[in-house]
Amino acid sequence: MWITKKDYIDSEYFKYILMAAEQTYNKGICDKNNENFYEVLFHYLNLNNLVLDGNMFDFKMKPHWKNEKIARVADELYTFYKSHNESGETVKFANAIFKNICIKYLQHQTKICDYNDCNIYYVNAKVHLLNDIYVLINIKGNSKYDIWKLKMDKRFVKGYKFTKSGSVEIEDLKDNALNEELLKLNNPALSKMNPDHSLMFCVITDVDAKIDTFANFIKNTILLNKLMANDVRFDPNLISNALEIILHEKILPFKLDEEFL
């Protein structure tokens, strides 16, 4: 909205727009609804990236720096951000609001999961870059395994869809036991699952854990990796690492190098 109306900036108008957005996102946090987690981080990181590097990304993390309009807006934003006029103050206010919301979301996420209670296993170090990712969740000592699917597609409102695709009972994890049970389900949504390529296996040691909550946490971990670490390996601890970076550095880089992981 700011970019499309940039030729006429009413700072008071955009201030109320941003405050309304802040109220909506904060209510989501209070209601323990983290569905806007990816959206908030995406826009916050994109705003910083546009100001600092003159670049923007789409939901597939592809840069649009070759777009002349984006380049022109980036030049103006850089000037606005360093100025004390109304445009500059609008950008700074937006940055501050999104940063504070990001901190709250990340803090809420770290409270959901104690990393000592959740072990995540995977074979493919770049699993977070796939369009179809399958998450198998089991509470230690239980024979039930819940299966979730994360589907990335720009046609979805948020760029992704995360759904529970079924459950299987496995008494003995012998060779090929999982594949045998999946065949019995005869679920088309699981037909492309490859244990060595697209599967993440999560074991929860807390017997009282709510699997839906953990599933949501794992989904957000994958999305954050896709957003910030798509040039490096998957890091299951990225949420806590990102929180530490934003608290100490006061900003999150759009891209993380290996040294951050």
pLDDT, block means (10 residues), the chain with 261 residues: 59 85 85 74 79 67 62 67 69 86 89 76 93 92 90 83 88 74 79 88 84 89 87 89 86 70 59
Residues 158 and 214: beta-carbon distance below 8 Å: no
**Do 122 and 102 have their domain in common?**
no
**Do 153 and 185 have their domain in common?**
yes
**Do 123 and 207 have their domain in common?**
yes
**Do 128 and 108 have their domain in common?**
no
**Do 121 and 230 have their domain in common?**
yes
256 token code pair: 């993380």
**Do 119 and 231 have their domain in common?**
yes
As a whole number of angstroms, the distance between CA 55 and CA 71 comes to: 7
Confidence (pLDDT) at 83? 65
**Do 135 and 195 have their domain in common?**
yes
> Whole-model pTM?
0.80
Q: Where are the alpha helices (DSSP H) in the chain?
A: 11-30, 37-53, 68-82, 86-112, 177-185, 211-228, 238-249
Confidence (pLDDT) at 147? 92
**Do 99 and 145 have their domain in common?**
no
Q: Which of 112, 146, 181 is the last residue of a domain?
A: 112
Structural domain of 75:
11-112
Residues 31, 37, 42: CA angle, nearest 5 degrees: 150
